[in-house]
Amino acid sequence: MNVDTDTKHTTEAPAAPAAPVAEAVRRPRRVPAWVAPAVVAVVLLSLPFSTLRIPGLFEGTLNSPSTLHVLATCLVLGGLATSYDLLYGRVGLLSFGHALYFAAGAYLAVLLMGILELPLLWSALIAVASGTLLALVLGAISLRVSGIALAMVTLAFAQAGSILVVRDPGRMTGGEEGLSLNPDLVPDAFIGVVNTVNLYWLAVGYVVVALGVVWWLSATPVGRVWQGIRANEQRVSVLGVNPYPYKLAAFTVAGALASLGGVVYLVVSGGVTPAITTAEFTLTLLVMVSLGGAGTRWGPLVGAVVYTYVDHRLLQLAASDVFDGLPAVVRAPLSQPLFILGTLFVLLVFFFPGGLAALPSRIHAALRRRAAAA
């Protein structure tokens, strides 16, 4: 009797851990954090060697000069949007003057090359340093206020810079026509259609720097303070931390990255125009960041690439005879890329909050609900 009872207990006791083991088996494995950057890096690095044709998206092969130039422009603006997200998405600072530092980098570099005949490298270093100092000084003034007041102060600085460029004092900035890059002071590797691939590599390098700086800073204790400021600045102050120097640091770093982007944009585009000095250009950056997903790892880059590419394609369609057969009431708005982009942006904000970066999780959640209902 006792032997049977002991045997029964002995055989039934090990069955207890079965539930935790089953839960561990059902628990999905998390993808390592390095996988997504590695995949993106492989794709970007392989594009200049690919002869793949994608009809409807690009006119030639992926490694054709025209396609690589479009991709380089998209990547430059993607890096710029990432720098703006450091302010808007990471710290919660609404600035309407970020285009000023982008334009400062481009215009200072081309002026140093044109007036002092400095080579590209030295002009770029001085332009980025000057743009960083400009962001530090203007940020120290602008950040004395917050909210809408901050947006208005930065807007005033941006408008002052735009007016200065358009008025063309001393016939230095080229006015509405802008300035062209002096090819004699640029390395031969960046001159000519044959070297478009090098311009693409330059744009990829800028994106890597912008993403690396923003991601690294966001993971540091400074980045955690930025998260607290975005969530509740008053609570950060109550905890004994002065938010002002942290906000100024974000403002300065974002301005430095924007100035570097201005220099890269100058080389990729072969010149600069007043279009990048306006407050509307900063509003475009805001749309890019919101489109991709503010405060996310990949959202600003994806939003900027999508926006820039769609804008490029819509400009091509507007110049063609695609809309000629439509009634005037329909043809007029559809021939304006900003109308179409604005409509798409409004629809995305209403029906897909969180931007493009939130789409995978929303689709996954919808599939899970459907599977549970079935």
| Res 325 pLDDT > 70 | no
> What are the structure tokens assigned to 140, written together?
């120290």
pLDDT, mean of residues 43-65: 86
Q: What is the C-alpha separation between 90 and 217, in angstroms, rounded?
A: 10
CB burial readout 290-318, b (16+ within 10 A) else e: bbbbbbbbbbbbbbbbbbbbebeebeeee
Residue in 138, 118, 91, 83 with CA at minimum distance from that of residue 260: 83
Q: What is the C-alpha separation between 269 and 261, in angstroms, rounded?
A: 12
Q: What's this model's pTM, rounded to 2 decimal places?
A: 0.87
Residue with tokens 């990471």: 90
- Count of all residues that appear for the chain in the document: 374
| Res 9 pLDDT > 70 | no
Condensed to tens digits (0 to 9), the pLDDT of residues 231-265 reads 999 999 998 999 999 999 999 999 999 999 999 99
Hey, is 162 helix, strand or coil? helix
Q: Do 93 and 87 form a contact (C-beta atoms < 8 A)?
A: yes
Phi, psi of 367 (to 5 degrees): -65, -40
**pLDDT, position 323:** 66
Q: Do 326 and 348 form a contact (C-beta atoms < 8 A)?
A: no
Q: What is the C-alpha separation between 200 and 46, in angstroms, rounded?
A: 12
Q: What is the C-alpha separation between 7 and 19, in angstroms, rounded?
A: 23
Going by pLDDT thresholds of 50, 70 and 90, the confidence category of residue 24 is: very low
Going from N- to C-terminal start, the domains of the chain cover: 61-292
| Res 225 pLDDT > 50 | yes
Going by pLDDT thresholds of 50, 70 and 90, the confidence category of residue 28 is: low
